[in-house]
C-alpha cells in the first residue's frame, strides 16, 4: 500500500527546499567566518547563530516530507559565495539571498494551492511568516549600517554597531504583533 501523501511534484519541490536551506546554512557560516576574521565579532555571532536557524529550517522540511510518507533526499551542497568586500555588501547579499528564498517558499505555496494539497499549504504558511521575519531582520541591519554611515562609516561607529548587532535578538519584531502601546 502506498502511504505517501505527497505528489511527486510536491515531494520534489520540498526536497529542493531541503537543499536550499542547507545551502543557506553554509552561506551564513562562510559569511560569519569572514566577519570574524575582519574583526566584526558581533556580526559574526549573529551570522553563526543564523546558520543554525537555517539548519533548523532544513530539519523542518525534512521532518515534514518524512511525516507525510515521502522520502527526504540529502544531496551535495553548493560552495558558498565568495567573501563580501565589506559589511554593506555582506548585508546586501544576505538580503538578496533571503528574497530569493522567499520566492522559493512562494513557489511551494503556489504549487500546493494548485494541487489542493492543503496540508503542504498549511505547512508552507509557517515559512511565509518566517521569511517576513528574515527579510525584516536584514532590512534592520541595512538600516543600522546606513545610520552608522554606510560604506563611509567610521571605525568608531562600526565598532559600536558591531557590538549592538552581536547582542540583538534573533527574531525581528513584526507588524502583526504591534499595538498602540507597543508600536
Integer angstrom CA distances of residue 10 from 64, 82, 108, 130: 12, 32, 7, 20
Question: Per CB under 6 A, which of residues 4..33 are in contact with ligand FEO?
Answer: 21, 24
Is 48 or 160 the residue whose CB approaches ligand FEO more closely?
Answer: 48
DSSP secondary structure, 34-63, as one string:
HHHHTT-HHHHHHHHHHHHHHHHHHHHHHH
Mark 140-158 as b/e (b = at least 16 C-beta within 10 Å): ebbebbeebeeeebeeeeb
Among 31, 47, 57, 65, binds ligand FEO (CB under 6 A): 57
Is 6 or 24 the residue whose CB approaches ligand FEO more closely?
Answer: 24
Among 44, 134, 141, 153, binds ligand FEO (CB under 6 A): 134
Question: Per CB under 6 A, which of residues 63..122 are in contact with ligand FEO?
Answer: 98, 101
Binding residues for ligand FEO, rule: CB under 6 A, are 21, 24, 54, 57, 98, 101, 134
Amino acid at each position: 500500500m502506498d502511504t505517501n501523501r505527497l505528489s511527486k511534484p510536491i515531494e520534489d519541490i520540498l526536497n529542493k527546499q531541503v537543499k536550499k536551506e542547507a545551502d543557506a546554512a553554509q552561506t551564513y557560516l562562510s559569511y560569519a567566518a569572514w566577519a570574524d576574521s575582519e574583526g566584526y565579532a558581533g556580526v559574526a555571532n549573529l551570522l553563526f547563530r543564523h546558520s543554525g536557524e537555517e539548519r533548523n529550517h532544513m530539519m523542518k522540511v525534512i521532518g515534514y516530507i518524512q511525516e507525510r510518507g515521502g522520502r527526504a533526499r540529502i544531496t551535495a551542497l553548493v560552495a558558498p559565495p565568495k567573501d563580501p568586500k565589506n559589511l554593506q555588501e555582506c548585508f546586501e547579499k544576505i538580503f538578496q539571498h533571503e528574497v530569493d528564498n522567499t520566492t522559493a517558499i512562494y513557489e511551494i505555496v503556489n504549487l500546493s494551492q494548485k494541487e489542493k494539497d492543503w496540508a503542504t499549504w498549511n505547512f508552507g504558511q509557517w515559512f511565509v511568516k518566517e521569511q517576513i521575519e528574515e527579510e525584516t531582520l536584514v532590512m534592520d541591519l541595512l538600516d543600522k549600517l546606513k545610520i552608522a554611515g554606510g560604506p563611509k562609516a567610521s571605525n568608531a561607529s562600526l565598532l559600536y554597531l558591531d557590538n549592538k548587532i552581536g547582542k540583538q535578538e534573533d527574531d525581528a519584531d513584526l507588524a502583526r504583533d504591534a499595538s498602540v502601546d507597543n508600536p
